[in-house]
A and B are shown apart, each in its own frame.
Chain A
Amino acid sequence: MNLFKVADLYVSRIVNSKAKPNANAEESTKIKALLLDKDTVTTISMCSTQTELLQNEVYLVDTLENPNRDTMRHIKCMVYISPSEESIQLLVKELQNPKYGEYHIFFNNMVSKSQLERLAEADDMEAVVKVEEIFQDYHILNEDLCTLDCSNDLLFRNFELWDEDGLRTVTESITSLLLSLKLRPQIRYATNSKLCAKLAKEVEFSISQNDTSLFDFPTMDTTPILLLLDRKNDPLTPLLQPWTYQSMIHEYIGVKRNIVDLSKVDNIDKDLQKVTLSAKQDPFFHDTMYLNFGELGDKVKQYVINYKDKTQSNTKIETIEDIKGFIEKYPEFRKLSGNVSKHMAIVGELDKQLQLRDIWGVSELEQNISVHDDNQEDYQQLLTLLDSQKLDNFYKLKLSCIYMLRHGNSNPRQMDNLISRLKSSSMPIEDVNLLLKIKKMFHTDFSNNTSVDNMKKTNNVSDHLLSDLARRFNDKLNSRNNNNSTMSDNVFMQHLPEISHILTELSTNKLSIEKYKYLKEPSSIRNTLPPQDTVVFIVGGVTYEEAKIIHEFNQDISKNNNNMRVVLGGNDILSTREFLRSLRL
């Protein structure tokens, strides 16, 4: 279940669209324009490149919103838009006075009958030759990760109540995700979550509405699962400082739609102010995105050395043949050198940010708090950091928050102490209030956190899939101690997100039916195998750290013949700041 492949399929459907199935050659050589709206412009830019489009004679890419397009009647136009009211309206206008000679219309999700009728009504010129729904109402970040790009505060309040439009958007997008993967799943959801229960019903309804027309896939011998999780059940993961390459870029620099904005970095080269970072197009990033910072340093060093080796062999240009050889390889070299400097700039900036914000100390302590039982040593360390002049208030708030979520209930007196201490310190009163709000919102005591339990458990059970992974990972870290001074221990990655535990259980058919209910109980649970295809959607956003777990899980399938493939989705990608911000509102 590689989402990039799904995207490729769809892009090629659009750009190779023919009016009639066996259209003549003349038609196929026409110049094509691709007309997008603000949703699909992102979709296309994230899963296709200019080169790919040019190879398919798409010589013109523009937006439907742009009123200053020139009339070019000899161009055929591929329209790819979301069926939003705004885009339909614009398309109606376009069709009433068509700028191009021929229109092929694609929607990225289901279009209503009345919308279609309005478009037909507007098409007096009979310029439309094709109308098709495809299903990609989501943004693909990794081959197994997608986001809807909707922040929590737009979708629901206090993890309790859906906004009506928000619920519809999420339902539609999840339905499109299922259709693009051709899955008609059984739905399971976190039983304790109101948001998930409601969403589960909506998605099921949406599926049943299109049962015969769209969801008529061949029955599989195991039914796929759509598992809806609630961020509320694992608030620790998005609060902890992340350590994989992809997640650190998101946390410290920011990446939106594959674009990393480096313009604020000191002395940055002009060409590097805005760089694209795509797992699909950048092979180095593809290989390093899930590595932790320690491993990453080595890879970048190796990358630079390789580059130098390659260029060195080309420096002795003496004969004309040498020059020719160099020039022939030049485009490749330029590309490579661009990529090397890009990653060097990013890693350099990450390193600087870590030092600047004193992340090493913060991360070690928060990892300790999140896995240790309550103890004085950690608590004292917490107090020290809270008193630190250097540390940003944000991190103080976050540390207190983590402590509260872990030990707030079991040690209320210490917690009260902490809060009164914070009140008298330099922390703004809104922050202290936020802490109290979070305490109310997540009344569950995460000292009994299953992920923590599971951490301990997995360390004892030897045949456990993910404990194996975790151990290998830790071993790697330990073996690196000698040659890397920055990554002195694995203390920074002790916490294991809840999702890893859930996946392991699901893949062995042991996921608690009480905690993760079936929306419609299957007739014979006992006699079914673990699902082969699973879509996990986290209401409240996902982190790149979780994406890494999904990736490793999928990797393991190809190695071990284990049979569950997973795609992860969330309404948003969280950074620690984004998560706390959304709680504030």
Chain B
Amino acid sequence: MGITNASSTTTLSTNAIEELPINEPLGSVACPICSQEFINLQKLNKHLDRDHGFDNTRNKSSSSLRSNSQKLPTSVGGSPKKQGKQQRIRTTHWEQLGKFPSTCGECNCNLNDSVGATNCRKCGKLYCGRHCRHKIKLNLNAKYDAESGKWYICCKSCYNKRPGYNDYGSYKDLTDDFVRYRNSNSEDKALRLLQLEVRLVKLVDGVFRLYKRYNSNVIMRLKFSNEVSKLERIICPWKDDQNVVDCEICIQPFTLTVRKHHCRLCGSVVCDDPHTMCSKKIPIQLLVNASKELPFKEAEKFKNIKDIQYSALLCTKCTNTLYLKRMFKQSMKEKQSNIIQLYENMNDTSKVILKVLSTFEVLLLQVENSKKSQDSPSEVLLKDLVTTRGKVMRNFSAFNLVVKQINQYKPKNATETKIQKSLQITASEFVNKNIIPLKSLNFNIESGTSICGSSLPNIIDTGPQVKKLSDLLFNNLTIKEVKEYREELMVLKEQSFLVQSMVETAKTQRKFEELKSLDENLKDLNVRIEELENKLGEEGFS
């Protein structure tokens, strides 16, 4: 059993493993599959048979030695003859050579004896010698077993399909940890918020009560501020500021100019440095308005909030705790910026275009095909084509309109400017990718009697000659375009009317800065309107 001399080693290597260098020092040979070293060829051969499943090809090797004309289908794919003490790898799934003209699963060359057909030990498919040289660890069931399998040869596909081989990009989701950490202190935070809210309600209601009591005359009003000061000290215990030398928030030392203050809600000692903004005086009106849902009792009944001259000094910590989340949630509900609205319009329109275009192209193809097969396209088909084309055109003009609106949009800040720019690039890429290629798409529908008869008017607006889509899309003023221009004109006029009325309001409210940009806007609109009206000429609104 096995290979018995040097020449058979060559046969073996053309079978499977010829690229492996066997340039070991004389007297020792390395296994071409697992690199284990052996003192002589005999030992190596035994090892190959036993550990790599080579005895299955024994007949083949020896037969090709004896005579090349001898057939070998029985050898490849034959099951092991003896179930001796050594267990052998499964071979029952091997593809047989010879029954059909077999080809290499990788290069498609015809397989016969001379190219050295080999079965992939894993999938069992037949390959030529050059394409079954990868090494893989398999168990006796011919299943991949990286831990305790033994080395066998396999095909490229089996090699690449090993789990983990072409797998990249580890990542670790920490969201759950994060949320857990966030929740772990949210209870404390909620308690603190509740405490502040209760104090705020107490403070505000107290101030209102005092105001009502002392509002009647000037002398009493002096009393008011005294009483308020007393109230403030009841709301929360003030920290003793004797020993406090640094601001509790920004940690800078207090000086003659950086003065100590007590936060009216938490009592901590903070500075009044306008640069660090550790504390702020907030008018009572604002305090109430920003947290309307709190259960104020007095404030509810009181209409003339504006009249109360009282501002509470709050530290930033308290202001943030009380109001940041409220403001954040509030702003999420507000109307989004117009530029985002425009983006959504553009996005929707381009999605529709893509969808309609694909239908359109399918229809075109059907028309082409039916023409090739000498049939005239069915009326239904042509009608569909016409409607779809109408849809395409309408959506193109809708897209155009959005793009124009984007171009004309006056950004409110640097971020909007950036978004506007991005949108412009996206729009032009979309046009380059989806609309311009259409121009070269042949649109060979011969209208005219021969094919569709007179029952189908207006497939092509300008006559019976062969037309290209590009002409249809970009020639001057087909009927469709007239329609589109009219639509656009209508929208523009509407806009212009709106802007005009905005100009009027701005004038009456003396908002001259707005006026300037509105005027520009109006000018742009009017220029475009004039353009369209010129183009339309007599076709304008009747």
B180: nearest residue on chain A (CB-CB)?
A: A120
Given A220-B165, A221-B146, A527-B35, are A133 and B172 neighbors across the interface (CB < 8 Å)? yes
- A554 interface residue (CB < 8 Å to B): no
**How far, in whole Å, are A117 and B172 apart by their CA atoms in the complex?**
16
Among the 9-residue stretches B70-78, B215-223, B330-338, B490-498, the one with 4 or more Cβ atoms under 8 Å from chain A is: B330-338
Q: Contacts A10-B169, A132-B173; is A59 near B337 (CB within 8 Å)?
A: no
Is B195 an interface position by the 8 A CB rule?
A: no
B358 at the interface (CB under 8 A from A): no
1/0 per residue, CB under 8 A from B, across A404-420: the answer is 00000000000000000
- Chain A proximity mask over B250-285: 1 for CB below 8 Å, otherwise 0: 000000000000000000000000000000000000
- Chain B residues near A328: list those with CB within 8 A: 436-437, 439-440
With both chains docked as a complex, state the minimum distance between the C-beta of B162 and any C-beta of chain A, in angstroms.
7
* Of A96-104, A156-164, A375-383, the one with at least 4 CB within 8 A of chain B: A96-104
Asked if residues A130 and B175 are in contact (CB atoms below 8 Å), the reply is yes
Q: Kindly name the residue among B36, B325, B415, B432 whose own CB sees the greatest number of chain A CB atoms within 10 A.
A: B415
- Interface membership of A508, Cβ < 8 A: yes
CA distance A10 to B146 in the complex (A): 28
Kindly state the separation between the CA atoms of A1 and B470 in the bound complex, as whole angstroms: 45
CB-CB < 8 A to B325: which residues of A?
A: 124-125
B541 interfacial contact with A, CB 8 Å:
no
Name, among B137, B165, B168, B184, the residue most crowded by chain A CB atoms within 10 Å (CB to CB).
B168
B181 adjacent to A121 (CB under 8 Å): yes
Indicate if the CB atoms of A180 and B168 lie closer than 8 Å. yes
Which chain A positions have C-beta within 8 A of B167? 182, 217
Residues of A301-332 contacting chain B, CB below 8 A: 324-325, 328, 331
> B466 in the interface, Cβ–Cβ < 8 Å?
no
In Å, the complex CA distance between A560 and B418 comes to 50
Asked if B387 is at the interface of the complex by the 8 Å CB criterion, the answer is no
Contacts of B133 in A (CB 8 A): 561
| Interface 9-mer from B54-62, B81-89, B296-304, B340-348 | B340-348
B34 within 8 A of A: yes
Assess whether A181 is in contact with B168, with CB atoms less than 8 Å apart: yes
Closest Cβ of chain B to A153, distance in Å, is 32
Contacts of B131 in A (CB 8 A): 561
Complex-state Cα separation, A218 to B144, whole angstroms: 12
- From B23, B33, B162, B178, A463 is in contact (CB under 8 Å) with B23
Q: Assuming A132-B173, A324-B470, is B425 touching A220 (CB within 8 A)?
A: no
User: Restricting to A87-131, which residues have a CB under 8 Å from any CB of B?
Assistant: 96-98, 101, 111, 116-117, 119-121, 123-131
CB distance A98 to B162 under 8 Å?
A: no
Contact A529 B324, CB 8 Å, known A132-B172, A217-B164: no
**For residue A120, which residue of chain B has the nearest CB?**
B181
1/0 per position for B415-436, CB-CB distance to A under 8 A? 1101100110110010010001
Q: Mark A60-91, 1 if CB is under 8 A from B, else 0.
A: 10100000111111110000000000000000
Q: Give the distance in Å from the alpha carbon of A119 to the alpha carbon of B21 in the complex.
A: 57
Contact status of A135 and B151, CB under 8 A, knowing A60-B422, A97-B324, A125-B324: no
Instruction: Give the distance to chain B from A3, nearest Cβ to Cβ, in Å.
Output: 9
Q: Is A219's beta carbon under 8 Å from chain B?
A: yes
Determine if A221 and B162 form an interchain contact, defined as CB atoms under 8 angstroms apart: yes
CA distance A562 to B18 in the complex (A): 11
**Chain B neighbourhood of A123, CB < 8 A:** 178, 182
Interface check B476, CB cutoff 8 A: no
For residue B169, which residues in chain A have a CB less than 8 angstroms away from its CB?
A: 6, 9-10, 13, 134-135, 180, 182
Residues on A with C-beta less than 8 A from B343 are: 31, 59
Establish whether residues B172 and A214, one from each chain, have CB atoms under 8 Å apart when the complex forms.
yes
Q: Which of A50, A128, A179 contacts B178 (CB 8 A)?
A: A128
Most chain B CB within 10 A, of A50, A59, A130, is at: A59
A120 touches B182 (CB 8 A): yes
Contact A132 B429 (CB under 8 A): no
Contact residue among B35, B174, B181, B415 (Cβ-Cβ distance under 8 Å from A69): B415
Chain A residues contacting B425 (CB-CB under 8 Å) are: 50-51, 54
Task: Bits for B132-143, please: 1 = Cβ < 8 Å to A, else 0.
Answer: 011111000000
Which A residues are CB-close (under 8 A) to B534? none
A123, closest chain B residue (CB): B182
Q: Which of B164, B340, B423 contacts A218 (CB 8 A)?
A: B164
Q: Using A51-B429, A529-B151 as known contacts, say yes or no to A98 and B181 having CB atoms under 8 A apart.
A: no
In whole angstroms, what is the CA distance A73 to B330 when docked? 10
Once the chains are docked, how many angstroms separate the CA of A13 from the CA of B172? 12
Bitwise, A8-42 to B at CB < 8 A (1) or not (0) is: 01100100000000000000010100000000000
Q: Which residues of B contact A75 (CB under 8 A)?
A: 340
Contact B19 A561 (CB under 8 A): yes
| Nearest CB of chain A from residue B451's CB, rounded to whole Å | 24
Asked, given contacts A54-B429, A325-B440, whether A133 binds B171 with beta carbons under 8 Å apart, the answer is yes
How far is the CB of B174 from the nearest CB of chain A, in Å? 4
Q: Which residues of A contact B334 (CB under 8 A)?
A: 73
CA distance A123 to B177 in the complex (A): 13
Query: Which residues in B have some Cβ–Cβ distance to A below 8 Å?
Result: 19, 21, 23, 33-37, 130-131, 133-137, 144, 146-147, 149, 151, 156, 162-165, 167-175, 177-179, 181-182, 184-185, 189, 320-321, 324-325, 328, 331-332, 334, 336-337, 340, 343-344, 347, 413-416, 418-419, 422-423, 425-426, 429, 432, 436-437, 439-440, 470
Can you give 19 A-B contacts (C-beta < 8 A)? A9-B168, A54-B422, A54-B426, A59-B418, A72-B415, A73-B332, A74-B336, A116-B174, A120-B182, A123-B182, A124-B321, A134-B169, A182-B170, A219-B146, A221-B162, A328-B436, A331-B432, A463-B23, A527-B36
For the A-B complex with A73-B332, A74-B336 known, give 11 more contacts whose Cβ atoms are closer than 8 Å.
A29-B344, A31-B343, A70-B413, A120-B182, A182-B169, A214-B170, A214-B172, A221-B146, A221-B151, A331-B432, A561-B130
